[in-house]
Amino acid sequence: MEIRDSASESAYSVAGVIRPPPPEERLAFLRTLQRVLKEGDFTATYKFALLQALLDIAVESRIRSDAELQVSYRRLAERFIEYYWGHTEPYRPGDESGGVLAQSTGRQAAVLTLIATARGQSGSRTLAQLRRESRYTGLLSRVARVIREQPVRYIQNLNGGHIEFLFAPAADGKGIILKRGVAWCLQEFYDLLQSQVRAGWVQQVRSMSRNASLIGGHKDLEEFLFGQQRMALVRIRERLVDLEGPTCFYCEKSIAHGIEVDHFVPWSRYPHDRGHNFVLAHAACNHSKRDTLAGRDHLERWLARIDDKAGPISDALSDVLLCDAASSAKVAQWAYLHEIHATGMFWAGVAGRSPVYQPVDDALRSLVVSGFPL
């Protein structure tokens, strides 16, 4: 199908896309998804979790056209467990005693109960540790069953009808198939849709009567539900120092004190911790780069680091957080393609106390298109 949206066409011809969905299909998708978020019957937070999972999986799958994408229930279950893991801990605003937040209008959400039970039986302090245990396989199966029987069944219901605009059941019964153009749209509108999904999730939790006494007027609920687990950064820093020495990834100079851990692809772009995305940095370099994507030279070295040290990084960090070099590379390519599309600036380094930026050039464009592992 011929593309008539010249801006999107130019952006994705850079990435070698053959055929993104036409503009009218993108608009129809967004309108229908808005209806789901506004009009859908949400008695639990599962539908928000499912939408967030589809957003993240679409990005990590690196779909460059309007192709379908098959997603297994197991892969969805992995995401649900990751999202709800921290929610099994008590919400403690200020110095109050706190309690576990309800995520269903009836009994506590089954996924939350399943995860809490597995945590209690295991004694694992982190999800990464639980993933190494045999009981994790059973947890995946039970969570996958809940996903299949609840949000997958009901998320496309609107006003008493069923609109199959997101996905259809896979023929093998083991998952779903995102319809043509859906994965592309989820990548393209990731920031917009994620903000709406998170806002809906927060509102759903806040509106549940059982949570009223816990939440009260506190405004840190979103940080609790989706914030970064800062405690893990200490262990990540220690492991990376052991592996690579106290050296700043960006300026390549030794760090005498104040070693910081930075997300190479900024947390603000993709708010999930992945082992291969972490690098050590001087405070000055880290604070100067902030939420900007690093320039071509840094990207080249990061890709070389993934190629050379994928195994050692996984060995060092896999008991702390998820490590998947290929997934991290796909997320990075997606982020860089979007920034190229926006003709944004990339952080090159620090001159004195001021950040130095570089524009998109042919060398960076070529690296992003062809320099990533496939």
**Cα 251–257–259 angle (5° rounding)?**
60
| pLDDT at position 320 | 87
Taking residues 188-216, what's their average pLDDT?
93
Exposed/middle/buried for residue 336 (C-beta within 10 Å: 0-12, 13-18, 19+) = buried
Q: Is the pLDDT of residue 297 over 60?
A: yes
Q: Is the pLDDT of residue 10 over 80?
A: no
Taking residues 65-92, what's their average pLDDT?
94
| Confidence at 94, pLDDT banded by 50, 70, 90 | low
| pLDDT at position 11 | 40
The fraction of the chain above a pLDDT of 90, given in percent, is 73
Q: Is the pLDDT of residue 52 over 50?
A: yes
Q: What does the alpha-carbon distance between residue 222 and residue 156 come to, in Å, rounded to a whole number?
A: 26
User: Over the stretch 272-289, which tens digit does the pLDDT of each residue have?
Assistant: 899 999 999 999 999 999
Contact 306, 276 (CB under 8 A): yes
Under DSSP, the state recorded for 99 is B
| pLDDT at position 352 | 84
| pLDDT at position 8 | 39
Most distant CA atoms of the chain, gap in Å: 64
| pLDDT at position 116 | 95
| pLDDT at position 16 | 46
User: Over the stretch 327-369, which tens digit does the pLDDT of each residue have?
Assistant: 999 999 999 998 998 888 999 999 888 999 999 999 999 999 8
| pLDDT at position 40 | 82
User: Over the stretch 225-268, which tens digit does the pLDDT of each residue have?
Assistant: 998 665 578 889 999 999 999 999 999 999 988 899 999 999 99
The fraction of the chain above a pLDDT of 70, given in percent, is 93
Residue 297's contacts (CB-CB under 8 Å, 6 or more residues apart) are: 348
Q: Which helix (H) or strand (E) holds 357?
A: strand 354-358
Q: Is the pLDDT of residue 96 over 90?
A: no
Helix (H/G/I), strand (E/B), else coil: 105 = coil
| pLDDT at position 65 | 80
| pLDDT at position 229 | 62
Taking residues 97-119, what's their average pLDDT?
93
| Confidence at 204, pLDDT banded by 50, 70, 90 | very high
- Where is average pLDDT lowest: 105-109, 164-168, 217-221, 319-323? 217-221
| pLDDT at position 310 | 95
Q: What does the alpha-carbon distance between residue 315 and residue 237 come to, in Å, rounded to a whole number?
A: 14
CA distances from 229 to 42, 276, 323, 355 (A): 27, 16, 16, 28
CA distances from 129 to 126, 196, 270, 281, 317 (A): 5, 32, 23, 26, 10
Q: Is the pLDDT of residue 7 over 90?
A: no
| pLDDT at position 12 | 41
| pLDDT at position 64 | 75
Q: What does the alpha-carbon distance between residue 260 and residue 21 come to, in Å, rounded to a whole number?
A: 42
